[in-house]
Structure 1
């Protein structure tokens, strides 16, 4: 009997690696779900029962029907508390679901990414609808249809899109909060560059790209966060803060214009002159004469 189970487990894993996909009904599962390599496969579970799900550094105790999204890059475990536990599971590799080269990375989805929303409560009508999709995938998995992989990919994407629609307000709130946090960190980092205390140590963070690299995020994400939160672009915030510092240096130090330009990260004084005039309407020398 043990040899038979071992063979069935081996067959399951070989098939999973070869096809990049498998779906089954939880009631009929024995040992197969306990043996696949988690680091290779994403997981979607539709389950009814009582359980505790540990995901990264969080735990969720759930009763009723839930839809769970497991990321191979995020550690998770599942404790079943019910005497009866029913539902469906599907596993798939990122290569399988991105075969058409039209899908963005799953890791960017709020359902799969770290700090995202891996667990959704499901109503009875939603459960019945999703049950139907899982059953269609199970049926298609057994056919010889030439394009069944494309069809299964469509079913997976349908589940993902239905999940994204379930809690749109919560998703938008989370996105808004994330953008606000990024903006706050950016503004704090920007302010920490000042005051400039010596012309021998010029600014090193001068552009949106510089700040994005310092914050280890993509510059497009930083720009989106700052613009949506403050109404101003990242570049505008940086330029305005440099201009304020330039005014202070012109007014309160005896550094010449070339020294101020270098201290603020400008390679040539003419670049600084053009920058200052564009933002203030006056050139640096005229500004200094007017305020001193």
Structure 2
């Protein structure tokens, strides 16, 4: 089995990169201070934000490599594994903002981390920065670094949390901009999603494997579920789950006009295990039961 280098603490990762720890639960790591090393798979049991400046072996992900532009942010959630083992020796370059989930406990940020869904994106869904955005990111990292260099007092954690939240909120804004500037590409993804939806229900796959999951379509489109969900939501105003349900109801309406099919047969054909679940969803969206809809039609 391929070995994985696991980092459980901020101190371990700082030592790995040849520098002292600034704070036991949060730090800005200068990767250029690390010794040259070979490629490896790594697991982080804390949050990591890589600011990539040049090609860096640490950011090889899975079986693929991604040659990023200058000023790219890659987000890693606790427990995520990145990298690819190899004999190539490289010199890490760039910075890494690392913070432990325990650091967020007792703060408003602890309950809001799900808003920063980009921590669950794949590496090839990274955030590419403009020159002005890069300046704001550098400023945010600088504020965190300056606070870490001060003696710890009663204000330290509050200020670090405030600056961390501001940093992450800027990342949300920049990702929104990236979705907009890639609108043409996103429209292509939406068209493929629609085609996959049609194929899923028309091919009988729903009856064979059950109701479609968002993760299935994301996988078919070679996207992470979170990135796919955010892309669809920003482009259409509806979540992928909303699109799945609306498509399901559209197909259901067509099939209900077939007098040779019972409502239970329609439900099973759409992937429902129990017809009553189909009836409940249909009434929720359409306002009447499938039987009432069929009678009116």
Shorter chain as normaliser: what TM range? Answer: 0.5 to 0.7
- Answer yes or no: is 1:75 the counterpart of 2:78: no
The verdict on how the C-alpha distance between 1:49 and 1:80 changes in structure 2, with shifts beyond 3 A counting, is farther
Give the number of the structure whose alpha-carbon radius of gyration is greater.
1
Normalised by the length of structure 2, the TM-score is: 0.57
Aligned pairs for 1:8-19 (under 5 A) are: 12=14, 19=24
Structure 1 residue 227 displacement after superposition: 7.6
- Partner SS for 2:212: helix
Aligned pairs for 1:224-263 (under 5 A) are: 228=238, 234-248=244-258, 250=259, 260-263=262-265
Residue number in structure 2 paired with 1:154:
162
Q: Distance in 2 between matches of 1:204 and 1:117?
A: 29
Whether the aligned pair in 1 keeps the contact of 2:36 and 2:89 (CA below 8 Å) is: no
Instruction: Describe the superposition over 1:7-49 as per-residue Cα deviations: whole angstroms up to 9, x where unpaired.
Output: xx8695598698321124455x3459999x7421333344545
Structure 1 residue 94 displacement after superposition: 3.7
Whether the aligned pair in 1 keeps the contact of 2:55 and 2:67 (CA below 8 Å) is: no
Instruction: Describe the superposition over 1:166-185 as per-residue Cα deviations: whole angstroms up to 9, x where unpaired.
Output: 46443243665555544443
Q: Report which structure shows greater RCO (CA 8 Å, sep ≥6).
A: 2
Whether the aligned pair in 1 keeps the contact of 2:55 and 2:68 (CA below 8 Å) is: yes
Structure 1 residue 204 displacement after superposition: 8.4
Normalised by the length of structure 1, the TM-score is: 0.58
Q: Of residues 137, 146, 149 in structure 2, which corresponds to 1:139?
A: 146
Instruction: Describe the superposition over 1:59-113 as per-residue Cα deviations: whole angstroms up to 9, x where unpaired.
Output: 1154xx413324151413798689xx6x54321234434653332337722x651
Q: Distance in 1 between matches of 2:13 and 2:82?
A: 25
The verdict on how the C-alpha distance between 1:264 and 1:47 changes in structure 2, with shifts beyond 3 A counting, is closer
Whether the aligned pair in 1 keeps the contact of 2:37 and 2:91 (CA below 8 Å) is: no
Aligned pairs for 1:116-127 (under 5 A) are: 117-123=125-131, 125-127=132-134
Instruction: Describe the superposition over 1:143-162 as per-residue Cα deviations: whole angstroms up to 9, x where unpaired.
Output: 21224233223323333333
Aligned pairs for 1:194-273 (under 5 A) are: 210-212=211-213, 215=216, 228=238, 234-248=244-258, 250=259, 260-265=262-267, 266=275
Whether the aligned pair in 1 keeps the contact of 2:263 and 2:291 (CA below 8 Å) is: no
Whether the aligned pair in 2 keeps the contact of 1:22 and 1:92 (CA below 8 Å) is: yes
Aligned pairs for 1:41-190 (under 5 A) are: 41-46=46-51, 48=53, 53-56=59-62, 57-62=64-69, 65-71=70-76, 73-76=80-83, 88-97=95-104, 99-100=107-108, 101-105=110-114, 108-109=117-118, 113-114=121-122, 117-123=125-131, 125-142=132-149, 143-166=151-174, 168-172=176-180, 173=183, 180-190=191-201
Q: Distance in 1 between matches of 2:53 and 2:142?
A: 16
In structure 1, the gaps of 5 or more residues are 1-8, 196-201, 254-258, 283-292
In structure 2, the gaps of 5 or more residues are 1-10, 219-224, 268-274, 283-287
Residue number in structure 2 paired with 1:191:
202
**Matched positions, count:** 242
- Partner SS for 2:111: coil
The verdict on how the C-alpha distance between 1:235 and 1:146 changes in structure 2, with shifts beyond 3 A counting, is same
Whether the aligned pair in 1 keeps the contact of 2:116 and 2:172 (CA below 8 Å) is: no
